[in-house]
A and B are shown apart, each in its own frame.
Chain A
Amino acid sequence: MVNLDSPPNLLKVWKKWNEPIGYVDMGPDVRSDNDTQNLAKECLVFMAVGITSRWKLPLGYFAIDSIGSEQQGNLLQTCFSLLYTIDVKTASLTLDGAASNISMCKFLGAKLDFHNEGFQPWFPHPEDTNERVYVFLDPCHMLKLVRNAHKMNVRLALRRSATAFIAR
């Protein structure tokens, strides 16, 4: 039982680095025209975390320049498939709130548009469509987003001598 973390994070790589090792590398299985042409800027790391047991394990990493949501989704699906073949049950997926992540969730089959009626924060497991994989947008990042939204409004509120948020 596993939770899969996947932010296209966060390791900025020096652009100046000018060796073969600093280029975009999607591994041997993924064909990418960008391979070995662009310098890598970020590192995409997948990590599995045990939910009912106490362990975590980085599953792999990709040196990327930038990555499309679809491509990222495909990599994730590969992750799910590989975990499935060794009988690791993947129950949830954690991402931060970047726009590309959200469109990736859409690509995988989740519906995170809250103003629509069909709000569905999970998607079927790529290997076993009866199982659901629940999408969690990392609460810490969400809290930060909420704080930023709130901060802006507090300033407004101070200027206008009014409450920041009004609940109906």
Chain B
Amino acid sequence: MKTVQELFPELGDLSGTAKFCSFMNDAFDILNCNNLFSRVGFNLPLKNSTRAKLKERVQEIENYITKIETREAPTLVRKWPRKTGFVGIISCLRNIFPLFDKLRTWGARYFLTSKILQDHLENFFSAVRSRGGFSNNPTCRHFRRAYKRLLTHAEIVLSNNGNCLMNEIPILHCSGNSGLKVDSVLFEEDDENDCEPNEEDKDNFTAADLLSVHDYSRTTCLIAEGEYLHEVITYICGFITRKILKKITSAKLLHLN
């Protein structure tokens, strides 16, 4: 800005604009921290050790914004018709501290402010648009299919022309794959109840079947019946439950057990 001012002295005093830019830069840095170890300027994660520094800067920014006035509207910016952006920034800046305190009571040691951006949703939309060829105007049907597809198989590939940068947060997903196949295999009782596939099955057995048949389905599991299977399944279930219980603290969910 100083260089511009030297180049174009006829523009007058530009220090106001320079100051404005530096404040806005810091404001957005504070609200867009995605890295616990970031040390650039005010792009810091909210932690016990950085709280005071950030709080101080936020106070400066807030004081500055509330005092802005423009040539166009010589009233204070907060009464200006275009005030939304400024009010929004102030409310975000104010809210991160009580939110952090709340998270701290819930056991968090730091708070990455990029979590409150809307980028996550924008990325999702970008993924929806990219399904079945990029389309900026998906139809309802397109959206519905893409939505379900992304829910079951949630790996986002992003257009370079999208609204924002890729983040690497996966959508929580469950596998909806092959439910039908497993059911049909599991509940198809053989007459002799033995483990060998019968003649018909052998003939119709294709590579696709091999891929879709799981090792826990009856037709391929050699020791399908009896105590052994029971023990194995009990053991695995117990293991899974133990792992899940570590993650879930909810009293309600425990009660369900």
The residues of A with any CB-CB pair to B shorter than 8 Å are 1, 3, 5, 7, 9-14, 17, 19, 21-23, 40, 43, 45, 47, 49-52, 54-58, 61, 63, 85-87, 89, 91-92, 94-97, 102, 112, 114-115, 119, 121-122, 132, 134-146, 148-150, 152-154, 156-158, 160-168
Contacts and interface: CB of A to CB of B under 8 A. Distances in A.
Contacts of B125: 9-11, 45
Contact of B115 (A51, A95, A144, A145): A51
Contact of B140 (A17, A89, A141): A17
B157 interface: no
Given A11-B143, A58-B171, A97 B10 contact: no
Interface of A is mostly: mixed
A23 B140 CA distance: 8
B90 A114 contact: yes
A164 B66 CA distance: 16
Contact of B138 (A11, A97, A122, A143): A11
Contact of B99 (A50, A115, A134): A134
A155 B251 CA distance: 60
Interface in B1-60: 10-17, 19-20, 24, 27-28, 31-32
B92 interface: yes
A121 B138 contact: no
A165 B250 contact: no
B89 interface: yes
A149 B20 CA distance: 12
Q: Name, among B10, B99, B136, B169, the residue most crowded by chain A CB atoms within 10 Å (CB to CB).
A: B99
Contacts of B27: 139
Contact of B17 (A13, A87, A145, A154): A154
Contacts of B207: none
Given A51-B111, A132-B98, A43 B143 contact: yes
B70 A145 contact: no
Given A7-B121, A91-B103, A145-B82, A150 B20 contact: yes
19 contacts: A9-B125, A19-B141, A49-B115, A87-B253, A91-B99, A102-B84, A114-B78, A114-B83, A121-B95, A122-B98, A139-B31, A139-B32, A141-B88, A142-B84, A145-B82, A146-B86, A153-B72, A163-B71, A165-B69
A150 B24 CA distance: 11
Contact of A143 (B28, B90, B107, B144): B28
A61 B143 contact: yes
A136 B116 contact: yes
B249 to A, nearest CB: 8
Contacts of A142: 84-86, 88-89, 92
Given A1-B103, A52-B108, A87-B253, A143 B72 contact: no
Q: Name, among B13, B70, B115, B172, the residue most crowded by chain A CB atoms within 10 Å (CB to CB).
A: B115
B102 A132 contact: yes
B118 A96 contact: yes
B172 A22 contact: no
B117 A55 contact: no
B218 interface: no
Contact of A163 (B14, B72, B76, B140): B14
A54 B169 contact: yes
